[in-house]
Structure 1
Amino acid sequence: MFPKRPSNFLVTVTCAIALLHFGREVLQPITLALVLSLALAPLIRAIGTLGLSRTTSIFITLGLVISAIAGAAIVLAAQLFALTTDLPQYRAEIRAKLKEVQVLTEQPLSRLPTELLEGVQSAPPAATSLRSRRGATQPVPVVIREPVSTQDSLTRAIGVVSGPLGAIGLVLVLLIFILLDQENLRDRVIRLTGQREVSRTLKGLEDAAQGVSRFFFSQFVVNIVFGAVIGLILWLIGIPHAVLWAALCAVLRFVPYIGALIAGGAIAVFAAAVDPGWSLALLALGLFVALEVVLANVIEPRVYGHSSGMSALAIIVSALFWSAVWGPVGLLLSTPLTLCLVVAGRYVKGLEPVSILLAESPDASAAQRFYHRALSGDAAAIIQDARVFLRKSTLARYCDQVLLPGLTLAVADLRAGLADKAQEQRLRATIAAVADTLAAGKTARARRLNVSMLNESIGAHLRHKREERLGRWQGSLDVPARSIILSVGFPNIREEFRCELLVLAFREAGIDARSIVLDDGDEEARPDAEHLVSTVFVAYPMDTAFDAWSEAVAALRENLPDAPLLTIRPREDVQADAALVAERVDMVLQSFEEALAFVAPVGAAKRAA
């Protein structure tokens, strides 16, 4: 994943950051144009569905966007002019509020003991006399300024305005050429990556374009709705120029995190200037904060967060990085730029660490996450994920896709000596707690098991808990004939545990499943209940010698001649020959789900009876 030589990697990253920083004058307009081209692509495609050519669709899209921006600018300019007209009447109130704030700030300091403030409020006599001597001897410099002419003022104003206008014009020109030449640019990128990587390159470009488009669209909708709601609230509580503040909130929220703070502070200050007291300012600020909290914690995680494909921490880190490299422009483009890097990391091996660190969810399977959490002893997180999984699926599928593959990873690491004794004990206790909670039901709380108290295998623990709850034979024997599914295991950890998991999966589906262990040394006579068994699932030989397993299967077939014998082949590597195993049973299944589908009619018949 990471380069073998960290020094080379650090040098490459440092050079890339230096290039971004010192080349920002050239890279910023190009990047802005590229990002805007991706954001406008859905609108261009939508207009193109009307039967217009691509060139016509591009210019219609640009015309609509420029017209919308110009209209919004005119409305905002009118609102700003009205605000500047009304500003003198708020000046006295602002000064009064500033004095109140100053008094409130100074009062706590005045309550401190006088001796603590003497050293701060008064300077030493020597320093005071020195300052007085300097003030008496040094003359005050006089600066003669020439009057500024109208022509100079106009020249400065044009210089101030021409800079942003020139940058906007440059971005617009680049945007037009990128949109017109988009197909050729894509072909050039494919040519650079090589003909062998055409499919991956096209997939990466499509994912980046769709990700940026979804991000901008969702952000645009959320911010517009937020601004409209804020404007309506401010208008209802009687704050003037509500349209201006609504537009300010909608625009500033495009700047991550800082924009919302600036908008809320501006609204609070203006509300304090409008109202003689503090009630209107506190009310406006409270409503703004409440709406922002709801939006950030309820709405955005479902709409904006998922559309960006990045974690919340990644968004903050990207904002800090790009603002440090490119300033305000970098802050505005931080999320789409980082999103493009995350998408590229899925297809470019050199950028894979970026995708792993910043993506919304790490590129790890559910089984890997199960194993990682089990190794760290986080049973509560595993159970929470299991409950989410079981709301939409069965326990059999959870065992096939999460639990058993996770245990396979654990067994491989334990056999390779990659986990120490403490981790092995924590792993065992965590899996026992998870299995015990799953056996108790979907709504049961996670129970922590002490390793020292678990003096038996997890499978034996589950079976004994079920016997304590349901009796020696794990339920009544007064049941219809051919209604019991028998799961047979052997006295070793893996096979016995798989045997008990299969029983749990069947019982979760409403099927009467029970388990026994062969050669467990139990001399108690078993009941004459062979006529109650419909199907026998015998554990696949994983740790049991094949000859002993074969003899046990032959004995089962002799004692239960009318019940089919089935086994479930594990996905992990086993030493037993698959062909020899298949010769001694009636059917070899591949998963718990297949087993559940095989015995489902039995459960249905039992429920009908």
Structure 2
Amino acid sequence: MRLLPEPSVNVAVTATCLLALLHFGRPVLQPIVLALMLSLAVAPLIRALAGAGLSRLNATFATLGLVCAALVAGGMLLGAQLLTLSDDLPQYRSEILVKLRDVQNLAERQPLARFPVDLLGDEPFAPAAPGAERPLQADGTRPIPVEIREHTSAKDTLTKFVAAISGPLGEAGLVFVLLVFILLDSENLRERVLRLTGQRTVSRTLKGLEDAAHGVSRFFFSQFVVNLVFGAVLTVLLWLLGLPHAALLGVLCALLRFVPYIGALIAASGIALFAAASGPGWALAVYAVVIFGVLEVVLANVIEPRVYGHSSGMSPLAVIVSALFWSALWGPVGLLLATPLTLCIVVAGRYIKALEPVSILLAEAPNASEAQRFYHRLLGGEAAAIVQDARAFLRKFTLARYCDQVLLPGVELAVADLRDDSAEPGQQQRVRGTIALVTETLGQRAAPLRSHRRRVSMLNESIGAHLRHAREERLGRWQGSLEVPERSIVLCASLPTVREEFLCELLVVSLREAGIDARSLVLGDLDDDNRPDAEHLVSSVLVVHPVDSAPDAWLEAVGRLRANLPDAPLVAVAPREPAVPQALGQQVDLVLKSFEEALAFVTPAKAGAGTA
């Protein structure tokens, strides 16, 4: 019996083999990946030097020289700080003992009594209990304790030191050599990758490589700048606070921030411990932790999102998941490389079909258009999120463009759910109410969303009729004053059907948002004997082209409208319709295919009316 289809088995086997390769090939893959990531990190500096007039080779060596000089200078600074710190260690150790005794006295728990012993070695923490003295010998004297120590020569000490640093230094040297060769042979490596992918996909592969390189380079450079500023500001604040070795703490905290999430916690714990050991009392430790916490919160929630937080292309959950995944595979190195490695995979998922699910799950925005996001939130009744996105859109563009590009396509996606017999009436009512609420809120610009929630939730008519009645309640029966200049009103008309009436009211909202005096009219109300004599006020008439209605009824209504308003140009608006039948188009002066075209058409009329 086949439990899984063959494609699923192949995917599972491939994923298992890949994970095994990453885990067991760690000694070989780690230096290569580190060198690749470092090459992308220094790429902006190489491009900047090349743009200044240096050749590619000279720019590469100059960049390597600058990086090595910066590392040597930073190492010397840290070494000097550490040597100075080593002289003060006995004082810090005694202060920690005092504070641990205070903590033990407050807690009065036996398990805490062993904590300082485990932390500080064999130094006694609490006074010896009475009667714990050594027993007397036969001659009445107490035995002298004998401590056996192993003699350690200078040669043994040097050997142990060399053995301890030879491993990390060897790996660092290997990474540096690989980095040099990758930078010098970058163009050749790119050509080899393009040849491997095949001639048919050269442009797609090249685009993917450029996006991945640009994304990782931007991430590393932005993170370096942000952490450098963080370390400098923290150093100054800790120095003003009076904490010794503030420069050392600032540098270490800046380095630890390269480790996502965990690095900030380790840095905060280190500052708290060092501040507690630097002086009597707890005030210095509390102030230092508060300074670090405030600076970290401001940086993480205000600065980083503007600099690189959302531009990294990954969702916050993806950053956490990637950190867990790569740290489990490659340990601390994997934790450091988690974000850039996952970012490369996310970018590759846009061009490689097999990695597309990973890109959808981990990307900041899962390749969904604004209309699709509008549709998803519409089904969920998330009116506040829709209005928030719409207002962000309206800071750059008009409401007419928002309707053309987002609202109308999103509503069309929801039409199938509204007409589906399997859709629940409650869901249909929620969708209709959300559309009406969003449209009415956007039409009133800065109106708070909650002011219309109760009335829209009890919507018992078509959306267009609801919007028109709401405007009449607010502005009067004629939707505004009739004491206006001649040819200043744009009349929007439609048949009394659900779709056409909604488009008509949405068109009115879009035009009024742009400052045009637009008003709506139902074509069936033309015979109203009580309508005012205001034909001279109308500059143009926009009629929504029918889709759900019979053409004969629309043609008859348009003919009567032209007879009532012979001096106003009659324009048909057919948004998101591929073509208009010739018979219908002949009955009007012009056919417009979008709300933006309608806005552009009536805007000159408004300017002319204002100068008359």
The two structures have a TM-score, normalised by structure 2, of: 0.89
1:57-206 matches, cutoff 5 A: 57-106=59-108, 151-206=155-210
**Residues 417 and 156 from structure 1, CA distance in 2 versus in 1: closer, same or farther, beyond 3 angstroms?**
farther
Q: What SS is found at the alignment partner of 1:51?
A: coil
Partner of 1:548: 553
Equivalent position SS for 1:372: helix
Matches of 1:87 and 1:332, distance apart in 2? 30
Amino acid of the structure 1 residue aligned with 2:598: A
Q: Which residue of 2 aligns with 1:589?
A: 592
Letter in 2 for 1:76: L
Q: Aligned partners of 2:248 and 2:260: how far apart in 1?
A: 20
Q: Give the AA of the match of 2:430.
A: R
> Which AA in structure 2 matches 1:266?
G
User: For residues 528 and 173 of structure 1, what CA distance do their matches in structure 2 show?
Assistant: 88
Residue number in structure 2 paired with 1:21: 23
SS in 2 for 1:57: helix
Aligned partners of 2:380, 2:422: CA distance in 1, in Å? 14
Cα deviation, residue 440, structure 1: 3.4
User: Hey, what's the Cα distance between the residues in 1 that align with 2:435 and 2:441?
Assistant: 10
| Aligned-partner Cα distance in 2 for 1:465–1:51 | 66
Write out aligned runs for 1:173-572 (5 A): 173-415=177-419, 419-446=423-450, 447-449=452-454, 453-519=458-524, 524-572=529-577
Residue deviations 1:151-197 (CA, integer Å, cap 9, x gap): 55443332221111111111111111111111111011111111121
Amino acid at match of 2:472: E
CA-CA distance at 1:420 after TM superposition: 4.1
Count of residues in correspondence between the two structures: 574
Choose the corresponding residue for 1:580, options 583, 604, 609.
583
Deviates more, 1:95-104 or 1:467-476: 467-476
In structure 1, C-alpha distance between the alignment counterparts of 2:351 and 2:516, rounded to whole Å: 46
RMSD, aligned α-carbons: 2.5
Q: What is the CA distance between 1:393 and its match in structure 2?
A: 2.5
DSSP 3-state at the match of 1:301: helix
Counterpart in the other structure of 1:137:
none
Shift of 1:528: 2.8
In structure 2, the residue matched to 1:132 is: none
**Amino acid in structure 2 at the alignment position of 1:313:** L
Does structure 1 conserve the Cα–Cα contact (< 8 Å) formed by 2:575 and 2:595?
Answer: no
- Identical positions, percent: 67
Q: Relative to structure 1, is the Cα distance of residues 433 and 608 closer, same or farther in structure 2, using a 3 angstrom cutoff?
A: same
The answer for unaligned runs of 5 or more in structure 2 is 113-146
Is the contact between residue 433 and residue 457 of structure 2 (CA under 8 Å) also seen in structure 1?
A: no
Question: Would you say the 8 A contact 1:511–1:602 is kept in 2?
Answer: no
Alpha-carbon distance change, 439 to 422 in structure 1, aligned in 2, over 3 angstroms: same
Tell me, yes or no, if the aligned pair for 1:566 and 1:586 is still in contact at 8 Å: yes
SS state at 2:328 partner: helix
Q: 1:198 to 1:99 in 2, by over 3 A?
A: same
How many Å separate the matches in 1 of 2:336 and 2:39? 16
C-alpha deviation, 1:536, in angstroms: 0.9
Q: CA deviation at 1:352?
A: 1.4
Decide whether aligned partners of structure 1 residues 326 and 366 sit closer, same or farther in structure 2, where only a CA change above 3 A counts.
Answer: same
- Determine the structure 1 residue equivalent to 2:144: none
Within 2, Cα distance between the matches of 1:107 and 1:166?
47
Q: Determine the C-alpha separation between the residues in 1 that align with 2:94 and 2:73.
A: 34
Residues 234 and 292 in structure 2, CA contact (< 8 A), matched pair in contact too? yes
Q: Deviations over 1:550-579 (max 9, x none)?
A: 222222222222211111222156xx8533
Residue 81 of structure 1 aligns with an amino acid whose one-letter code is L
CA distance in 1, matches of 2:547, 2:105: 80
Match in the other structure for 1:599 = 602
Partner Cα distance (2:445, 2:247) in 1: 55
Unmatched tracts of structure 1, length 5 or more: 111-142
Deviations 1:129-163 (Å, cap 9, x if unpaired)? xxxxxxxxxxxxxx999766655544333222111
Residues in 2 aligned to 1:10 and 1:458: alpha-carbon distance in whole angstroms: 50
Matched position secondary structure for 1:584: coil
Q: Is the 8 A contact 1:268 1:282 kept in 2?
A: yes
SS at structure 2 position matched to 1:300: helix
3-state SS of 2:520 partner: strand
Cα 1:14/1:85, change in 2 over 3 Å: same
Check conservation: 1:310, 1:360, Cα contact below 8 A. yes
TM-score normalized with structure 1 length: 0.89
Change (3 A) 1:572 1:428: farther
Shift of 1:464: 1.1
In 2, Cα distance between equivalents of 1:208 and 1:278: 48
Amino acid at match of 1:493: V
